[in-house]
Amino acid sequence: MISSTAPENVKDVHGVRERILTAGRAEFAQNGLGAGSVRAIGERAGVTAAMINYYFGGKRALYDAVVSEAQARLGRRLSAAVAGDRAGLAPRLAAAHFDFLSEEPELQRLLLREVLDQGQSVRELAARYVQPLRALFEQHFGADDEALQLAVSLFGAVAGYFLYEPLLGAFLGVDPHSPGALARRRRHVIRLATHLDEMNR
Amino acid sequence: MISSTAPENVKDVHGVRERILTAGRAEFAQNGLGAGSVRAIGERAGVTAAMINYYFGGKRALYDAVVSEAQARLGRRLSAAVAGDRAGLAPRLAAAHFDFLSEEPELQRLLLREVLDQGQSVRELAARYVQPLRALFEQHFGADDEALQLAVSLFGAVAGYFLYEPLLGAFLGVDPHSPGALARRRRHVIRLATHLDEMNR
DNA sequence: ATACGTTCTAAATGAACGTTTAGATCCGCT
DNA sequence: AGCGGATCTAAACGTTCATTTAGAACGTAT
């Protein structure tokens, strides 16, 4: 249960709490939990470091709030893609994943750091989203191992593109974040997913 | 140019330098450059923190040495896979990449952190290995965009499997590091690469 | 046995860290 | 006008950080 230990009577009439949340997201995405500094977050938000404790109860609690918000956002996107028609589920999921990562590079970095740090929130995330996805996957595609492996590859292909962006710049010969490169990548990823969909016919 | 500023006259008769290198690798893989501590490295190596400065000239220089050694090791593996027969290049590369990551999870984490931290060594790595790979790729497969995209997907599929290991545990239903799961994944990845190879016939 | 360079520790230094505290300022309500 | 809670800052606290320094211990060669 991620909850801030801040006093109940804060009202945040000037949007400071929101600004700290944004600043914390940027700082933690850039430097991670351990190397991120509350003084730097305060500077980004235009307040003193003491405000982090006032509104959130501490550095760790702010981090938890930031991560849990990011996870919720990703979860909402994936859930929306899962809902609706059964046909075209795989490409819809791939597109949703791809779009989330390309639109929110900050959250991508933040969540990757959380995975690398082996934060317990990762295991919670696994239980909350990945397990149900697996169940959905099985009833749609069956428990065939090759289909599972392909799904994993698809996932890695989508995430890896953004993770290894600096290396891929040299490999692809263009900036991976340029509109053209993004569009080409999106097309390819959706085609891969469609292939997975059809493989099961 | 990554070089330690340690005095020239150190001889390391007791293998302390090597022990510090190993300890630094473990510490930086676990916590990254910013959050890793030289005191913790000293403890791991059984010496005082001052020894990091004595042998390497500082925390940053030790980190550079550790990362550059890891990159060299990965580079050697990939180079060995590239050398030899032209046929089967893609699956050989994929297998080499996969084997490196599965055998050296510590280096995997270390290098991933370096990518996330956008260290300049990543750009150097890109220039040293990725660009030549791209040239090799082009003369073998042509500049076809779909082939490039597939290569990127393959790369992401290999790396993503290890990166998202805690999530995949929930998805695959087994420990991704178990021998059986590793063997299945390796087979799948090689098959994907072979598919890429044949696509170009 | 003595001298010397190498290896290492313990202690000190100054900066940065997260957090706490005391109090100033602000604003709505009576 | 003045009280009271909400918001915020400046300063201080204790801890940890990377690094420097002085000198002890060690092995080797003379």
What domains does chain B contain, in order, with CATH numbers?
Answer: 16-62 (1.10.10.60), 66-199 (1.10.357)
| Interatomic distance A135 CA / C11 C1' (Å) | 60
> Residue A3: what pLDDT?
38
> Residue B3: what pLDDT?
38
- Residues A135-165 pLDDT 10s: 888 887 777 888 889 889 999 999 999 988 8
- Residues A75-119 pLDDT 10s: 999 989 988 888 888 899 999 999 999 999 999 999 999 999 987
**Which residue would you say has higher pLDDT here, B81 or A131?**
B81
> Residue A99: what pLDDT?
97
Read off the pLDDT band of B2 (50, 70, 90): very low
Instruction: Calculate mean pLDDT across residues B69-73.
Output: 93
Res. B82: pLDDT tops 60: yes
SS3 B199: helix
Instruction: Calculate mean pLDDT across residues B142-154.
Output: 87
Q: pLDDT > 70: what percent of chain A?
A: 93
User: B59 in contact with A at a CB cutoff of 8 Å?
Assistant: no
User: A34 in contact with B at a CB cutoff of 8 Å?
Assistant: yes
Instruction: Calculate mean pLDDT across residues A51-80.
Output: 95
**Minimum CA–CA partner of A136 in chain B:** B171
CA A39 to chain centre: 25
Res. A2: pLDDT tops 70: no
B32 touches strand D (CB under 7 A): no
Instruction: Please list, in sequence order, all residues whose beta carbon lies within 8 angstroms of the beta carbon of residue B142, skipping any fewer than 6 positions away.
Output: B200
**Which residue would you say has higher pLDDT here, A131 or B20?**
B20
Res. B4: pLDDT tops 70: no
Read off the pLDDT band of A6 (50, 70, 90): low
User: A152 in contact with B at a CB cutoff of 8 Å?
Assistant: yes
**Which residue would you say has higher pLDDT here, A106 or B86?**
A106
> Residue B165: what pLDDT?
85
Alpha-carbon span B94 to B154, nearest angstrom: 7
H/E element holding B197? helix B179-199
Instruction: Calculate mean pLDDT across residues A115-136.
Output: 83
**Which residue would you say has higher pLDDT here, B149 or A10?**
B149
Among the residue ranges A129-143, A184-198, B139-153, the one predicted with the least confidence is A129-143
Task: Output the CA–CA distances (angstroms, integers) from residue B122 to A85, B70, B168, in the order listed.
Answer: 42, 12, 26
Read off the pLDDT band of A134 (50, 70, 90): confident
Among the residue ranges B45-49, B142-146, B157-161, the one predicted with the least confidence is B142-146
> Residue A51: what pLDDT?
97
Measuring alpha carbon to C1', the residue closest to nucleotide C21 is A50
**Which residue would you say has higher pLDDT here, A195 or A189?**
A189
Read off the pLDDT band of A8 (50, 70, 90): low
Which residues numbered 79-108 in B keep a CB inside 8 Å of some CB on A?
none
Q: Which nucleotide is nearest to A55 (CA to C1')?
A: D7
HSE-up of residue A38 (Cα within 13 Å, Cβ side): 16
Residue that is written with structure tokens 């989330």 in the block? A100
Mean confidence (pLDDT) of chain B = 88
Q: Are A82 and A93 in contact (CB under 8 A)?
A: yes
Indicate if the alpha-carbon torsion angle A34, A35, A39, A42 is positive or negative: negative
